[in-house]
Amino acid sequence: MATLLDMTITHVPVLAGELIDALDPKPGETAIDATFGGGGHARLVAERIGASGTLIAIDRDPAAAERFADFERETPANMLFVGASFVDGLRRLRDDGVRADVVYFDLGASSMQIDAWERGFSYAYDAPLDMRMDSEQALSALAVVGEWEERRLAQIFRDYGEERYARQIARAIARRRDSAPINSTLELVDVIAAAIPAPARFAAGHPAKRVFQAIRIAVNDELGQLDTALPLAWEVLAPGGRLAAISFHSLEDRRVKQFLVARATGCTCPPDLPVCVCGNEPEADLPSRRAIFPSGGELAANPRAASARLRSARKLEVQR
C-alpha cells in the first residue's frame, strides 16, 4: 500500500543527462530499465525512444508497480512492467527471446524507499526492522539482526559497510538480544552507538550509517543480484546495444567495472604467452575505463548523488 510519504516524496534521478548520453536511446528502440523506482530515468529514455519504442521496466518493489501504472498512462512508447528481481526479470526476458538496444541499472534503494519510514531503511526514523525492497520476501532486517551469528554479522558489517568497529557492534548486538530482542531501527541505532568508542561515534557520519547499509545489502542480496544480472543483461543486449550502471558504493562499482573491462579485453591468455591462443575477441567498447561522477551542480542540488558513479559499454558484433 502506498503511504502518504510515498506519494509526496519523489526520487530525483541521479546522473540523468550522463546516463542518457551513454545510452543514446533512439526512436523505435527497445530499452530495459532494470531498476524502475520512480521512473525518473525511464521517463527520459521513453521520450527518446518515442511512441514506436518499447520500454520494459523491472522492479521488485510492489510500490514501484503502482507508480508504473501512472507512468504508463502519461508516456508514449509501448510499455511492460515486470514485478520481479532484476535477475528473475532479465532471465524471463531472455527466455522469451527479448533483444534490447539499451539496458540500464540504477542500483540501491530509491528515495521513496528510504523516506517511507515504516519500511525501516533509515536510521533517522523509528520503525520495525525491515529493509526489504520486495515486501513479500521472507528475509528481513529483523531476522538478520535477531538470528544471524555474531561472526556473520561482524563479517557483513566489515565487508558490506566497511565498518571499523564491526566486531564490537556485532558483539553488542549478540549480548543485547540475549536479554531482549531488537525490534526497531532506533533500538538498533542505540546498540550500535553504544558499541562505538565515544570519540569515534560521529567521526565518520552517523554512527549507524555503515551498519544499516550492510544490513540492507545483506537483506536484499544486492551484490549476488548484481553478479548474476550483469551477464544476463549482456545476453539480452543486441549487438550495437548499450549497457550502463549507476552504483553507489565501491562494492557495486568494482563489480560493474570488472565485468565491463573483461568484456572489452577479449583475450584471456596468460600475459607471458608470446601469441594469443584463446582467440577471444573483445565484445565491448568502453567509452572510458574511468567512471563518470556527478557534477558540482548536481551534488549541490541533490546530496544523495554524492557517491554515485556511472559506467557504460557498447556491445560489439563478435564473429565466433
Ligand X SMILES: C[S@@+](CC[C@H](N)C(=O)[O-])C[C@H]1O[C@@H](n2cnc3c(N)ncnc32)[C@H](O)[C@@H]1O
**Of residues 280 and 302, the one with the C-beta less far from ligand X:** 302
Binding mask 113-152 for ligand X (x = CB under 6 A): --------------------x-------------------
Q: How far apart are CA 44 and CA 33, in angstroms?
A: 11
Tell me the three cell numbers of residue 108: 540501491
Q: How far apart are CA 13 and CA 189, in angstroms?
A: 29
The region of 38-46, 117-125, 184-192, 231-239 touching ligand X under the rule CB under 6 A is: 38-46
Q: Is 247 among the residues that bind ligand X (CB under 6 A)? A: no
Among 41, 119, 216, 314, binds ligand X (CB under 6 A): 41
Q: In the complex, what is the shortest distance from the CB of residue 22 to ligand X, in angstroms, rounded to a whole number?
A: 14
Among 6, 13, 208, 253, binds ligand X (CB under 6 A): 13
Task: Answer for the pair 257, 168: CB distance below 8 angstroms, yes or no.
Answer: no
Task: Answer for the pair 253, 311: CB distance below 8 angstroms, yes or no.
Answer: yes
Q: In the complex, what is the shortest distance from the CB of residue 29 to ligand X, in angstroms, rounded to a whole number?
A: 18
Q: How far apart are CA 197 and CA 201, in angstroms?
A: 6
The phi, psi pair for 168, rounded to 5°, reads: -65, -40
The region of 104-112, 121-129, 151-159, 163-171 touching ligand X under the rule CB under 6 A is: 104-112
**Of residues 192 and 305, the one with the C-beta less far from ligand X:** 305
| Residue type at 46 in one-letter notation | A
Please count the residues of this chain forming the interface with ligand X, following the rule CB under 6 A: 20
Q: Report 213-232 residues binding ligand X (CB under 6 A).
A: 225
Residue that the C-alpha cell 557495486 belongs to:
252
**Of residues 30 and 225, the one with the C-beta less far from ligand X:** 225
Ordered alpha helix ranges (H), the chain = 4-8, 16-23, 40-49, 62-74, 86-95, 111-115, 141-147, 150-161, 166-179, 185-195, 209-219, 222-236, 250-265, 296-301
Q: In the complex, what is the shortest distance from the CB of residue 83 to ligand X, in angstroms, rounded to a whole number?
A: 9
Q: Report 253-292 residues binding ligand X (CB under 6 A).
A: none
Residue that the C-alpha cell 521513496 belongs to:
112
Q: How far apart are CA 148 and CA 211, in angstroms?
A: 14
Binding mask 147-186 for ligand X (x = CB under 6 A): ----------------------------------------
Q: In the complex, what is the shortest distance from the CB of residue 207 to ligand X, in angstroms, rounded to a whole number?
A: 24
Q: Is 245 among the residues that bind ligand X (CB under 6 A)? A: no
| Residue type at 274 in one-letter notation | P
Q: In the complex, what is the shortest distance from the CB of residue 221 to ligand X, in angstroms, rounded to a whole number?
A: 8
Q: How far apart are CA 307 and CA 162, in angstroms?
A: 15
Instruction: Give the dihedral of Cα atoms 10, 219, 253, 153; nearest 10 deg.
Output: 130
Among 18, 106, 253, 283, binds ligand X (CB under 6 A): 106
Q: In the complex, what is the shortest distance from the CB of residue 149 to ligand X, in angstroms, rounded to a whole number?
A: 25
Tell me the three cell numbers of residue 80: 511492460
Left if phi > 0, otherwise alpha if psi is -120 to 50, otherwise beta: which for 131?
left
Among 38, 161, 207, 294, binds ligand X (CB under 6 A): 38
The region of 58-66, 119-127, 182-190, 286-294 touching ligand X under the rule CB under 6 A is: 58-66
Task: Answer for the pair 235, 94: CB distance below 8 angstroms, yes or no.
Answer: yes
Q: Is 75 among the residues that bind ligand X (CB under 6 A)? A: no
Q: Is 294 among the residues that bind ligand X (CB under 6 A)? A: no
| Binding stretches for ligand X (CB under 6 A) | 11, 13, 35, 37-41, 58-61, 64, 85-86, 106, 108, 110, 133, 225
